Structure 1
Amino acid sequence: MSDVLEIPSDEHGLVRVFTVDLPLDEAQILLDDEARALQQKTGAIALDPDHIDLFDMNDLSGLPLADYLAEGHGIPDEELAPIRAQLERVKGRVMVMRSAAFERIGQQLRVTHPLRWIATFGEARDPVPLEKPRAESARPPEPEAPPAAPPPPAAAARMMRPGLIIGLVVTMAVLGVVLWALA
């Protein structure tokens, strides 16, 4: 007997949990070579093994599967609560597939031996706070400052005086050195 799971192309944020009735080394073969063996076994069109976890419950050092799903995949406790007792009885190998494993391709997943589907959960979604854009290119242009008005003629003359005096002193010093050298 097999279950058929429909995977829509626009799916995201779901986590499917399966048990795998094989020793871990044999189960790992399902994910080798870009998960081709798992694709053939399930009839999947495409699977990305980077988004599929396979582990033995003994490797979780006593951590119950429900806690692993809550902590490792962000599954809210409200979703886990109805089947927590069933999840805590799971032994052996477990396969966890995130929506990204299906590569946004609508497909049917045929679940047959050695896989057994346990449940599908939604990952927790924190409300996304809207912040002002931070990128320089996302900021609105700042208004240009109006051009500074030219200083009045008397003020301009006063600003030139120190420069003029320094220039005259330097010129006089150079002229003095030249005349002394010629004498």
Structure 2
Amino acid sequence: MIEIPADDHGQIRVFATTDALPDAVRDKTPEGMIALFGLPLDGTYVDIVKISDLGDMTLSAYIAEGYDMTADAVDKAAVDQVTGTAVLVLSRATGGQAVTLRPEHGLRHVTTYSPVAGITPPEALPDKSARDHVPTSPAKPQKSDARIGGMVAMYALLFMFALVGLMIWVGG
């Protein structure tokens, strides 16, 4: 028996058997999943692999390339010793429900692949390398003489426009 919690995510459970599997199991029908595990897993997320169909590729290489999951050395050795048929059950096969798998047809659990978190903590940078490279000038750049002259001219034109407008209004 294998307990799978409802919050199981991103794992691949690897099972192996040397027994011949019924057609319903190979076709991944709900009846076949019940016959294999005792409950109707979603066959879309169950992969049945005949080891002889892999040719020169090992089962661990198949999982690494097909599912982008790598195993540690111990799991890799156990997975590569599988003969006959491998059944890969992805977490999504349970539909997010807590379930208990009861493997039948000579099925044995080999290992469970778990995703490795791809987050690495940031390294602390040495503070000496940043010294004398950070600008100490104010955040706002100083205004150039040309910019100041342009602003004075604009205000003078606005004042003259208002003065001419006032003269026309008084004279009119």
Interval of TM-score (by shorter of Structure 1 and Structure 2): 0.5 to 0.7
Contact 1:20 1:27 in 2 (8 A): no
Structure 2 residue ranges without an equivalent (≥5): 120-160, 162-172
1:79-158 map, 5 Å: 79-127=71-119
TM superposition shift of 1:61:
1.6
TM superposition shift of 1:80:
2.9
TM (normalized to structure 2)? 0.61
TM superposition shift of 1:10:
1.2
Q: SS where residue 73 of structure 2 aligns?
A: helix
Instruction: Report the equivalent of 2:139.
Output: none
Structure 1 residue ranges without an equivalent (≥5): 128-151, 153-183
Q: Which structure 1 residue ranges, 4+ long, deviate > 6 Å from structure 2? A: none
Contact 1:74 1:124 in 2 (8 A): no
Percent identity of paired positions between Structure 1 and Structure 2: 28
Q: Provide closer, same or farther for how the CA distance between residues 10 and 63 of structure 1 changes in structure 2, counting only shifts above 3 A.
A: same
Work out which of the residue numbers 12, 26, 31 in structure 2 matches 1:15.
12
> Counterpart amino acid of 1:88?
D
TM superposition shift of 1:73:
1.7
Q: Provide closer, same or farther for how the CA distance between residues 18 and 28 of structure 1 changes in structure 2, counting only shifts above 3 A.
A: farther
TM superposition shift of 1:33:
6.5
TM (normalized to structure 1)? 0.58
Q: Across the two proteins, how many residue pairs are aligned to each other?
A: 125
Separation (CA, whole Å) in 1 of partners of 2:115 and 2:93: 15
TM superposition shift of 1:31:
4.9
Instruction: Report the RMSD for the aligned CA atoms in angstroms.
Output: 2.7
